[in-house]
Amino acid sequence: MEQAEYKISDLYQGGYSSFQQGSGELATGYTAPQGTIGLSTDPRTANILKEFADKINPGQKSMELSLITPEIIETIPKQHLKEVNRLSQLTGVDVTIHGPLVEASGLSEQGYSEMNRELAEKRMNVAMQKAHELSPKGNTPVTFHSSAVIPADEIKKVKGETQIQKMLVIDQESGQVTSVSRDEKFYPHQEDLSKPTIHTAEGQVASINHTQWDDSLTNLIAPKQRVDKVLEDNLPLVQNVYDHLRAGDLEVLQHLKPTQAEIFSKTQNANAQLEDMQIHIHSLFNKAFKYGNKEEKEHLEKLAENYRKNLGKLTPFDVKQKSDLLQGMMEGLRIVQPEVFTPLKDFAFDKSTKTFANVAFDAYSKYGEKAPIVSIENPPAWMGGFARGEDLKNMVKDVRKKFVEQAMAKKGMSKNKAEEAAEKMIGVTWDVGHINQLRRFGFDKQDIVKETEQIAPYLKHVHLSDNFGIENVELPMGMGDVPLKEMMEKLGQKGIDAKKIVEAGNWWQHFQTNPVGDSLKAMGSPIYAMDMGPSWDQAVGLQQGYFGGYGQMLPQINYETFGAGFSRLPSELGGQAVGSGGRMGGTPLE
């Protein structure tokens, strides 16, 4: 006789085995020690003492203070920070900080302002100071978003290729921002009009630069031609006058005949126009040198050297020579193609890394090896710039480089020691929920995991929230489609060691319950500190009530109904209970 295979889930309700770790509905497949998982405080309140005391009640050993609003940071008394420090030491809770949401680049809706960048730097310095007051022993991760204002480029994944559909660009001279888009155009010279000519967003930037630069030079050509025509027609008629003037004989002007005076006046007006053009040419040279590439700057240096040498030989009365000199400058400037307009991300990258490096160096200068850590976080993938793995990797590398340059120049540190300090003080906070929102652009699970792989060597801190890849919602892990297990595997030992802060604002808002329990279940965290025994996703088998007794596998209610043997079964089934009136009474086996 073939023996039937029975499963507990076939006999009793409950769905999954509490004996098997990671088998619950919330299970992500990733296991994290409970001691590395923490909560964040409510960013809307300055009463961090109450928030801290209330939210450590579930027993987690990490807490992040969400000081994301500059005004709220300034509202927190220093005495409260000291009290939180004492409370954290008493309870053994590690404290981390989410710094203010400021735009490190200095950009705003009105464009770029160096004053805004410096203000952002000062606000970040305040957060670093608060972090040191909270944890004087040092090395507390302080999280700052890589960007807070800069919109992300509009991207789309098509047949495995990432295409930029819309890109913001900035005029580096004025600080004003505009946008360019990927475009399809049809031209009459095309042989096949069924296939449009593709103009990429990147190509549009180059086109803007070329057009603006060409227009700037073209605007000088017509006036210059008119000046040259005036000089050609009139200068020979008063050449002797200019010869006298060059010799220092200024009295010659008093003896000019009316006709000569009129002609001389025309040449002087032309000279005045040349001086005005000279100012414009100097401005164009400045723009070309500031925004030209290395080869163009080398060309401009030679052009300037020749210009200075010949300009020094001129007197105020060498009108024709000045015209020829300016003509040579115009022709030399036409060779270059300065990138005055540049992708906003490139511009903001340089300004942002400067700010982060200054903040890290300032903290290191004040607190040395006990300085807090500058940890740069990826914002929601569709809401902010520098949201992808490669963005953060490149940003951290550049911030570390600028930190090293300052440490060597200002503190006389060796390069090796400065690099060691930079690696310790500057890294990444990886928000697994934010990067998952790349799905709205057509990215899949494998793409999300690859993003994580980019930043693995730079990881300092982790933010945990789940979502479905479209909106920036914050749910406990296991309730959306964030591939946590695969992402954490890419983070390796750094991911295991890092504090992992549960950010579940939408869970608090709508369901008004603590997300810690569900988060511990999702990550199969061990119940006991020694990292052994049952895990929180097995806790259902340890509960009392209906699932008391021997747990979910053999609920107590069954023992109350049937007993431990057959004695409580009806007599018709071999037991001792009276058939009628019992749970299984009535006419048997009908």
Residues 159 and 144 in one domain: no
Among the candidates 339, 369, 399, a domain finishes at: 339
Kindly state whether residue 58 falls inside one of the protein's structural domains. Answer: yes
Helix, strand and coil in the chain, % to nearest 5 = 50, 15, 35
In 294-343, which ranges are continuous DSSP H helix?
A: 294-311, 319-334
Residues 367 and 416 in one domain: yes
Residues 172 and 78 in one domain: no
Pairing mode of beta strands 161-171, 154-158: antiparallel
Residues 465 and 426 in one domain: yes
Whether 519 contacts 476, CB under 8 Å: yes
Whether 389 contacts 155, CB under 8 Å: no
Three-class SS state of 385: coil
Kindly state whether residue 5 falls inside one of the protein's structural domains. Answer: no
Residues 575 and 511 in one domain: no
Kindly state whether residue 15 falls inside one of the protein's structural domains. Answer: no
Kindly state whether residue 565 falls inside one of the protein's structural domains. Answer: yes
Three-class SS state of 410: helix
Kindly state whether residue 111 falls inside one of the protein's structural domains. Answer: yes
Residues 158 and 126 in one domain: no
Domain of residue 559, residue span? 555-590
Residues 243 and 140 in one domain: no
Three-class SS state of 511: helix
CATH code of the domain in which 512 resides: 3.20.20.150
Amino acid in the structure at residue 326: L
Alpha carbon distance 374, 357 (integer Å): 9
Whether 548 contacts 542, CB under 8 Å: no
The pLDDT tens digits along the chain (590 residues) read: 455 565 544 544 444 455 555 556 788 888 888 888 899 999 888 999 999 988 888 778 899 999 998 888 889 888 998 999 999 999 999 999 999 999 999 998 888 889 999 999 999 999 999 999 888 888 899 999 999 888 777 778 877 778 888 888 899 988 888 888 887 776 777 777 777 777 788 888 888 999 999 999 999 999 999 999 999 999 999 999 999 998 888 888 888 899 999 999 999 999 999 999 999 999 999 999 999 999 999 999 999 999 999 999 998 889 999 999 999 999 999 999 999 999 888 999 999 999 999 999 999 999 999 999 999 999 998 877 899 999 999 999 999 999 999 999 999 999 999 999 999 999 999 999 999 999 998 899 999 999 999 999 999 999 999 999 999 999 999 999 999 999 999 999 999 999 999 998 888 888 888 888 888 888 888 777 666 667 777 665 555 444 444 444 455 555 555 555 556 666 666 666 665 444 444 554 44
Kindly state whether residue 540 falls inside one of the protein's structural domains. Answer: no
Residues 436 and 529 in one domain: yes
Residues 260 and 139 in one domain: no
Number of domains in the chain: 4
Residues 358 and 278 in one domain: no
Amino acid in the structure at residue 461: H
Residue 39, H or E segment: strand 37-40
Residues 400 and 328 in one domain: no
Angle CA 519–523–529, to nearest 5? 95
Tokens 């060779």 correspond to what residue? 335
Alpha carbon distance 175, 170 (integer Å): 6
Kindly state whether residue 93 falls inside one of the protein's structural domains. Answer: yes
Residues 77 and 101 in one domain: yes
The CA dihedral of 77, 82, 85, 91, to the nearest 10 degrees, is -100
Kindly state whether residue 11 falls inside one of the protein's structural domains. Answer: no
Three-class SS state of 66: strand
Q: Which residues contact 120 (CB under 8 A, 6 or more apart)?
A: 102, 103, 104, 105, 106, 355
